[in-house]
Structure 1
Amino acid sequence: MNEPKKIAVVGTGYVGLVTGVALSEIGHNVMCVDLDESKVESMKKGISPIYEPGLDELMLKNYTEGRLNFTTNHEEAFNGVEVIYIAVGTPEKKDGTADMKYINAVCVDIANNISNRVIVVTKSTVPVGTNEQIEELIKTNTNVPFNVVSNPEFLREGSAIYDTFNGDRIIIGSDSEEPANVIAEINKPFGLEIYKTNLRSAEMIKYASNAFLATKISFINEIANISSLLGANIEEVAAGMGFDKRIGSNFLNAGIGYGGSCFPKDTKALVQIAGGIDHNFNLLKAVIEVNNKQQLLLVEKAKAYYGSLKGKKVAMLGLAFKPNTDDMREAASIVTAEELILAGASIIAYDPIAMENAKEVLPEAVEYANTVEEALNGADTAFIMTEWEEIKNISFNVFKKHLIDGSIFDGRNCYSLEEARLSQLDYHSIGRPDVLRRKILV
């Protein structure tokens, strides 16, 4: 690597903090900017505002070694920097479009505080054409020269540190060769394939990638629903499909749908982007519809099994949208909890990491347990919502000991059917035959 660059990263949410920490780890001098003073002070102590395996240790290491720092002051952050990364949120509006107010605010802050030529790198997920708008907004507020580059992220929550150093590619979008080469040089130590495009293509690659993966998930979930009606086993079907190199085995795990900060928001945003140019994206609309329906599948299964859920006590195991994160955004547990309560059931929930965040978004009637056993004790049935290792390792004997009715509704196919048969419990999963020891009389 050439001389380390002096870099500022605006925003210390999921994307910004991982980006800043990773850039400091490969040798650059990074200043992360956030308006929340208490958050900044916590990060200086090595306390991450988000749960991500390995992030705290790497953050504290690089802060201690002097390559990483945090501030609330834009003037301090931008003083003498060569590159500024924009990594603030683009939350979803009610109509599904991306809210650009944070991006616009950062652009004004950049224009008001830079004093030397910089490269502005957009890490946030933004609609196609946004980088040109960023360039125009900064240009109208400063005479200092700058360039704009698009560098979308492709990190998976729960494995973002690993993905940063072991990803498939780095996308760099620019309409000028020189700034693209600078950003390529900055990222060279990661040792990943670098692919350069124009600005709009880079923006589109991000949306297209997430939309395709969401499509793959909804497709396999629909195949799972058909398989369960026809007596096929979705795990065998997916395995057989995955051998085909044109298809691949990734994202073929049937379940109760996707969630999180990316797939739901980006699929809706791409539908809106298409609509803005008078293109009806029927395929992606169907993907979203399938996912919304899939998140309610366990409740529908339980209603079919019991006849009525009124008065039933449900142990909800796992709340985050996926394991190894505390992110509750668009988690299937939210709509499932709402539907269970509407049906007259009560809920006691457990998650190893996400319970504090869950309390902010789940219905107030939900109670919380400190352990799996506490959640299960005295419950009629268990709903498995997140495939945490702790939950996957629960013995069927634990379910048998604590559950009143001895029924399990597994939304993530955590257990083998053979284990379920030996357990003498009633076990329902996704796209596989139910394992029943008896009939429920309605």
Structure 2
Amino acid sequence: MNIAIVGTGYVGLVSGTCFADTGANVTCVDVDAQKIERLKNGEIPIFEPGLDELVLKNVKAGRLHFTTDLASVLDDVQIVFSAVGTPPDEDGSADLKYVLQVARTIGQHINHYTVVVTKSTVPVGTAAKVRKTIEEELEKRGIKDLEFDVASNPEFLKEGNAIKDFMSPDRVVVGVESEHAKKVLTKLYKPFLLNNFRVIFMDIPSAEMTKYAANSMLATRISFMNDIANLCERVGADVNMVRAGIGADTRIGRKFLYAGCGYGGSCFPKDVKALIKTADQNGYSMEVLKAVERVNERQKSILFEKLQKAYGGQSLKGKTIAMWGLSFKPETDDMRESTALVMIKLLQDAGCTIRAYDPVAMDECNRRIGDTVTYCNDMYDAVLDADALLLLTEWKEFRLPTWAVIKKAMRRPLVIDGRNIFDSEELAENGFEYHCIGK
């Protein structure tokens, strides 16, 4: 089966590579000529464990190709996936200009039955706009009887675990409007059906809504636990004990119940905003999600508040602060909506000097904010002469540090743990002042 995937960002490149690994002939398309050239040369523009090896494997096997010209591949493909960006507009709604541009190009050049699948996260009603755009372009060409289908196939990939998520999914959600489209997409997903993974077919609006609802539910759990954690601190409870207690209830479950310093990334913040906006546009107010968003924005400054409190409300000007972690989560260099960006601004506004270390995200941080912080060689270099250590991202290499070395390097042995990964008793035994979330 020949397919094209438009957009070589996180979703497009991972999806295209994994489809190729199941035997499909895949062409990844992007308007960024420099990115395409890098991919042809084996350079992977994003960090995702295992992706570089899988790309090289399938390029070598002749199943994975890269081009800037979508029109040149449309005669040979049965399915076109649109995986272009849908950045939030100023009002929080998803910007569909790239999605509709792909639809226009398809309408201008298709000559046979094609299934056009939206892979990007898009608001309910986008598929109808895609169909209308393609029909308008066909009408301009004087073509009235060319059949095509539009479908929705939202992705549920977790950064840092995307390949496993794609190849062994909890479920595959597919929205279709015809039996023909269902037959074509069933063939594409046959390797997954053989492994007994769930492919759930539904109508297109429901598929479009499913992605937003799923991410918003997960974001809600995170903000709820952060709210509980902040209350635990005030009443003398331990959020880790509370988490264990409520997580044992099978109706609730254990996942996404960890308190911390706020969620970030390319999905949760954007999707919560977009669903709130979709509701507003349809005369309904998503009160729970508005609260989720407010709690998360407040939580991103919680470590700064703890730092101020540790210094008795005194000025932080001239203090040197070590930061472990810059990416919004481990196993990625993605800093979109990262708590680290909020913390860096708060610390700099307070007159602090920042010494930062992250295993993979320092280049991305430098691209975003330049050399306004000191990028360190490792986590021990970061704490040199520091007046406090802030843990923002729970990378595995941060879990078992040698505290005796760290204490000797720091001016003040103060640790503020934004992810609750350290043992308070161990730090106390080593002479550290320790603060975490919800305890």
The two structures have a TM-score, normalised by structure 2, of 0.95
1:252 aligns with 2:257: yes
Q: 8 Å contact 1:83–1:120 — kept in the other structure?
A: yes
Deviation at 1:395, TM superposition (A): 2.1
Amino acid at match of 2:176: S
Aligned length: 428
1:348 aligns with 2:350: no
Deviation at 1:363, TM superposition (A): 7.1
Question: Which deviates the most, 305-314 or 88-97?
Answer: 305-314
Tell me which residue corresponds to 1:334: 341
Tell me which residue corresponds to 2:154: 152
1:368 aligns with 2:364: no
- The one of 186, 201, 208 aligned to 2:206: 201
Q: Can you list the C-alpha shifts for 1:31-81, whole angstroms capped at 9, x where unaligned?
A: 000112221122123321100001000010011001111011112222321
Q: Can you list the C-alpha shifts for 1:144-169, whole angstroms capped at 9, x where unaligned?
A: 32100100000001100011122210
Q: CA RMSD in A?
A: 1.2
1:41 aligns with 2:34: no
- The one of 126, 132, 153 aligned to 1:130: 126
Q: 8 Å contact 2:149–2:177 — kept in the other structure?
A: no
Deviation at 1:424, TM superposition (A): 1.3
1:55 aligns with 2:55: no
Tell me which residue corresponds to 2:418: 411
1:265 aligns with 2:270: yes
Tell me which residue corresponds to 2:185: 183
Q: 8 Å contact 1:338–1:362 — kept in the other structure?
A: no
1:239 aligns with 2:241: no
State the distance in 1 between where 2:375 and 2:436 align: 24
Deviation at 1:176, TM superposition (A): 1.3
Deviation at 1:379, TM superposition (A): 1.1
State the distance in 1 between where 2:411 and 2:188 align: 58
State the distance in 2 between where 1:181 and 1:301 align: 56
Tell me which residue corresponds to 1:94: 90
Tell me which residue corresponds to 1:277: 282
State the distance in 2 between where 1:57 and 1:326 align: 18
Deviation at 1:22, TM superposition (A): 0.6
- The one of 72, 79, 89 aligned to 2:75: 79
1:356 alignment partner, SS class: helix
Question: Which deviates the most, 337-346 or 35-44?
Answer: 35-44
- The one of 284, 293, 310 aligned to 1:288: 293
Amino acid at match of 2:260: G
> Percent same amino acid at aligned positions?
46
The two structures have a TM-score, normalised by structure 1, of 0.95
2:412 alignment partner, SS class: coil
Amino acid at match of 1:147: D
Unmatched 5+ stretches in structure 2: none
Q: Can you list the C-alpha shifts for 1:388-431, whole angstroms capped at 9, x where unaligned?
A: 11122322223212111010111011212222222210111111
Tell me which residue corresponds to 1:390: 397
Amino acid at match of 2:374: E
Amino acid at match of 2:407: K
State the distance in 1 between where 2:190 and 2:394 align: 35
2:297 alignment partner, SS class: helix
Tell me which residue corresponds to 1:167: 169
Question: Which deviates the most, 39-48 or 408-417?
Answer: 39-48
- The one of 12, 17, 27 aligned to 2:13: 17
Deviation at 1:364, TM superposition (A): 5.3
Q: 8 Å contact 1:334–1:361 — kept in the other structure?
A: no
Unmatched 5+ stretches in structure 1: 433-442
1:415 alignment partner, SS class: coil
Amino acid at match of 1:312: K
- The one of 66, 70, 75 aligned to 1:70: 66
